[in-house]
Amino acid sequence: MNEVYKPPYQLTDEMLEIVYKIITNLGKINNINDLDKMPKLRKINRIISIHSSLAIENNSLSLDEVANVLDGKVVLGNNDDIKAAINAKKAYSELDNINPFNMDDLFKVHKIMMDGLVKEAGKIRKGYVGVVNEKGEVIHLAPPSELVYKELTDLFNWIKNSKAHILIKSSIFHYEFEFIHPFSDGNGRMGRLWQTALLSSWLPIFKWIPIESIIYDNQNEYYEALRSSDNEALANNFIMFMLNAIDKAIEKLIKDTSNHINSINNQVTKLLKVMDNEPLSANELMNRLNLKSRVGLKRNYIDPALDLGLIEMEIKDKPTSKNQKYKKKTINR
């Protein structure tokens, strides 16, 4: 009879305390507003996630350059770095389609992430590999390639069946995945993405929380948590690092969401002030607001006001009509 796999960690009061704090803060986000109504903030956070995860791997593209690459614009830079950004966008887009408890999906996403960058994209490595910190120092030598498939299978079986809270379980997966290092390259970005995938299976809002940016800002601590957990044969240090990173990322999102809502409220207030009781076209509204961009008017003023139910379209059955006009919505008392 095969021995049941158990990851090396011990649940502590400190872990439970920060898990409770994270859950409390997640409630604050839900009370602020629905992030689904903030496409601009979601887009920015996805760009930050991708840039941060790639930068940890020494990708040379700046945040603005990654944003331009993801928008399909021409960027002058290292071809592999540009390809890595394009691949990462496709890989993160798979968060809506994958089952993070399915090992086959891991191979599928790795193939997307590393397509054109390594020959073995989507396949288990051959030979030995290690984890290298930002100084180029080897801080972990991974298990031999012939053990990888079994160790990865055991890990996936564990996350499917474990009763541990997903915040802790996803952090353990991240640590064990980096310990196994199943691929010839791309293990770091896949480990970070897969923790996000696991958390998103619990709460979809995690698709838009750039935890990777906190890791990027604290790379030395990230690698030290990996190294010390290896040395102690216990994942606790890494679990605590990741729980703290998640907590900081959520606190930042709360602040960013509040700022975003305040900005929207200010713009909607300006829109309502220039509107009389008669219907107005987009051009008329642009003139009254002294705006030059029709796209900006729609994105920053009209769409938020429509979502809040403060204005309405005159031609409701043809939203994109060239004759479309907008008017303040009558509120029945």
Q: Are strands 311-313 and 138-141 parallel, antiparallel or unpaired?
A: unpaired
Number of Cα atoms under 13 Å in the Cβ half of residue 297: 18
Dump pLDDT digits (tens) for 216-256. Answer: 999 999 999 999 999 999 999 999 999 999 999 999 988 88
Helix (H) or strand (E) holding 23: helix 13-32
**Res 38: pLDDT:** 67
**H or E segment to which residue 140 belongs:** strand 138-141
Lowest mean pLDDT among 67-76, 167-176, 188-197: 67-76
The Cα angle at residue 305 between residues 299 and 310, in degrees rounded to 5: 165
Give the tokens for residue 180.
């196994």
* Cβ–Cβ under 8 Å, residues 239 and 172: yes
Identify whether the C-beta of residue 117 lies closer than 8 Å to the C-beta of residue 84.
yes
**CA-to-CA dists, residue 56 to 112, 137, 210, 223, angstroms:** 19, 14, 14, 11
* CA pair distance 47, 73, nearest whole angstrom: 14
What is the average per-residue pLDDT within 91-120? 97
Using the structure block, give the residue that is written with the tokens 């990996």: 226
188 or 299: which leads in pLDDT? 188
pLDDT of residue 42: 83
Q: What is the pLDDT of residues 24-44, one digit of tens each?
A: 998 877 644 456 666 777 888
Whether the predicted pLDDT of 283 surpasses 90: yes
- For residue 252, give both structure tokens: 């930042």
Distance between CA atoms of 70 and 46, rounded to whole angstroms? Answer: 10
| 90 bridge partner residues | none
Answer whether residue 287 shows pLDDT above 90: yes
Burial class of residue 232 (count of CB atoms within 10 Å of its CB; 0-12, 13-18, 19+): exposed
Read off the pLDDT band of 141 (50, 70, 90).
confident
| pLDDT tens track for 172-226 | 999 999 999 999 999 999 999 999 999 999 999 999 999 999 999 999 999 999 9
Q: Within 10 A of 67 (CB to CB), how many other CB atoms are there? A: 20
Asked whether residue 1 carries a pLDDT value surpassing 50, the answer given is no
Virtual torsion, Cα 27, 32, 33, 35, nearest 10 deg? -70
The helix/strand/coil state of 204 is helix
Are 69 and 51 spatial neighbours (Cβ–Cβ below 8 Å)? no
pTM of the model: 0.79
- 279-286: list long-range contacts, CB under 8 Å, 24+ apart: 279/314, 279/325, 279/326, 279/327, 280/325, 280/326, 280/327, 281/323, 281/324, 281/325, 281/326, 282/324, 282/326, 285/326
* Backbone phi and psi for residue 141, each to the nearest 5 degrees, phi listed first: -100, 120
Above 50 in pLDDT, residue 63? yes
